[in-house]
């Protein structure tokens, strides 16, 4: 019996690979994404090229694109949203790095308990945490009412660019610590000991060994924050104001063009496709930094 089974495997395994049908496995998930992800984005692209292209044969026009690229309003708004996202991502990575470093390299015994403590807020409701800040920063909220009750001037933090940066930073901080922790955790401590044996100070060992080896995690963390923040509209609509200097973002402009006031789907589609293009370029440019082996080999 055992001899028989041992004799079978090779041809049998080959046959099995053919028996399991790849299209059968991939058909549904890929089909779903084509119907409800790629086609919808295609329709937005069609709208950006002219009103109701999908409904009636209408000449393709680049007028909306032309207007968009020549109107400084939207491009300026995009630029200020880009800056805001950059500030949030850099701040969050800078704060998360020492937290991850402490967990991964301090030799603390309860490292996974502490990690869970750090990440748990991220796994609770995003919306409720934003709403918590909306209450806290509010005009008659805890901070301002506390300040006036002790005789200080209230800060009126809500509906400002600062509020948007603070709340987005708060939202992303736990999540960002994770990829940095993973890259530091997988670091070979022998390398640090070798650096120390070669008379490197701790700072030198950090600058020459730890930091370069953790860069893939840092880049991943940065992208995880930067890309969603670039298209953010929920947080700014709750704690931001109505102009770019008070935290109104590009994503809010897209939402407004589709939902509020006077909808202009063509312009909204142009804004959306432009944002998608920028995100795609960022992904292509940065994806090479995300491959750990490449960076380690440099």
Q: Which residues 249-278 are close enough to bind other proteins by CB under 8 A?
A: 251, 254-255, 258-259, 265, 268-269, 272, 275-276
Question: How far apart, in whole angstroms, are the C-alpha atoms of residue 216 and residue 288?
Answer: 9
Please list every residue from 141 through 160 that binds other proteins, using CB under 8 A. Answer: 141-142, 144-146, 149
| 37 scored as a contact of other proteins (CB under 8 A) | yes
Question: How far apart, in whole angstroms, are the C-alpha atoms of residue 26 and residue 34?
Answer: 12
- Rounded to 5°, the CA angle 127-134-95 comes to 75
The Cα diameter of the chain in Å comes to 89
Least Å distance, CB 246 to other proteins, is 18
Q: Spell out the residues 6+ positions from residue 196 whose beta carbon is closer than 8 angstroms to its own.
A: 202, 205
Q: Of the two residues 3 and 55, which places its CB atom closer to other proteins in the complex?
A: 55
Q: Of the two residues 20 and 60, which places its CB atom closer to other proteins in the complex?
A: 20
| 39 scored as a contact of other proteins (CB under 8 A) | yes
Least Å distance, CB 98 to other proteins, is 6
| 162 scored as a contact of other proteins (CB under 8 A) | no
Other C-beta atoms within 10 Å of 239: how many?
A: 26
Supply 113's token pair: 């308990």
| 138 scored as a contact of other proteins (CB under 8 A) | yes
| 291 scored as a contact of other proteins (CB under 8 A) | no
Q: Of the two residues 61 and 265, which places its CB atom closer to other proteins in the complex?
A: 265
Contact between residue 122 and residue 175 where contact means Cβ atoms under 8 Å apart: yes
Contact between residue 289 and residue 219 where contact means Cβ atoms under 8 Å apart: yes
| 29 scored as a contact of other proteins (CB under 8 A) | yes
Q: Of the two residues 90 and 117, which places its CB atom closer to other proteins in the complex?
A: 117
Question: How far apart, in whole angstroms, are the C-alpha atoms of residue 143 and residue 135?
Answer: 9
**Closest Cα to residue 99, out of 118, 126, 73, 80?**
118
Of 62-70, 109-117, 239-247, 289-297, the window that binds other proteins (rule: CB under 8 A) is: 109-117
Contacting residue, 3, 20, 60, 198, with other proteins by CB under 8 A = 20
Total residues at interface with other proteins (CB under 8 A)? 96
Q: Of the two residues 33 and 62, which places its CB atom closer to other proteins in the complex?
A: 33
Q: Spell out the residues 6+ positions from residue 65 whose beta carbon is closer than 8 angstroms to its own.
A: 48, 49, 270
Least Å distance, CB 251 to other proteins, is 5
Contact between residue 230 and residue 278 where contact means Cβ atoms under 8 Å apart: yes
Supply 260's token pair: 């509020």
Rounded to 10 deg, the angle between the 265-287 and 72-105 helix axes is 40
- Pattern of binders to other proteins over 210-229, x per CB under 8 A? x----------------xx-
Secondary structure of residue 95 in the 3-state scheme = helix
Contacting residue, 7, 67, 193, 281, with other proteins by CB under 8 A = 193
Contacting residue, 65, 102, 162, 289, with other proteins by CB under 8 A = 102
- Rounded to 5°, the CA angle 231-233-235 comes to 120
Of 62-70, 72-80, 191-199, 290-298, the window that binds other proteins (rule: CB under 8 A) is: 191-199
Contacting residue, 3, 10, 17, 153, with other proteins by CB under 8 A = 17
Please list every residue from 48 through 87 that binds other proteins, using CB under 8 A. Answer: 54-55
């Amino acid at each position: 019996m055992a001899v028989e089974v041992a004799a079978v495997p090779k041809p049998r395994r080959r046959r099995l690979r053919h028996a399991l049908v790849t299209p059968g496995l991939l058909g549904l998930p890929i089909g779903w994404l084509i119907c409800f992800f790629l086609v919808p984005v295609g329709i937005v692209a069609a709208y950006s090229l002219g009103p109701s292209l999908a409904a009636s044969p209408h000449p393709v026009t680049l007028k909306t694109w032309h207007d968009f690229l020549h109107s400084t309003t939207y491009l300026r708004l995009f630029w200020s949203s880009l800056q805001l996202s950059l500030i949030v991502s850099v701040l969050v990575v800078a704060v998360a790095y020492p937290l991850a470093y402490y967990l991964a390299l301090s030799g603390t015994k309860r490292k996974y308990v502490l990690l869970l403590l750090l990440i748990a807020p991220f796994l609770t409701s995003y919306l409720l945490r934003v709403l918590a800040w909306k209450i806290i920063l509010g005009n008659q909220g805890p901070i301002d009412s506390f300040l006036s009750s002790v005789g200080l001037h209230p800060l009126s933090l809500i509906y400002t660019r600062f509020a948007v940066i603070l709340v987005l930073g708060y939202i992303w901080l736990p999540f960002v610590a994770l990829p940095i922790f993973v890259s530091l955790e997988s670091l070979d401590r022998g390398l640090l000991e070798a650096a120390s044996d070669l008379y490197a100070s701790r700072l030198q060992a950090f600058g020459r060994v730890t930091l370069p080896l953790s860069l893939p995690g840092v880049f991943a963390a940065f992208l995880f924050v930067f890309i969603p923040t670039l298209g953010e509209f929920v947080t700014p609509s709750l704690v931001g104001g109505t102009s770019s200097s008070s935290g109104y973002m590009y994503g809010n402009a897209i939402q407004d063009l589709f939902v509020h006031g006077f909808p202009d789907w063509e312009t909204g589609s142009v804004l959306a496709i432009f944002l998608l293009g920028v995100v795609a370029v960022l992904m292509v440019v940065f994806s090479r930094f995300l491959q750990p082996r490449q960076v380690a080999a440099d």
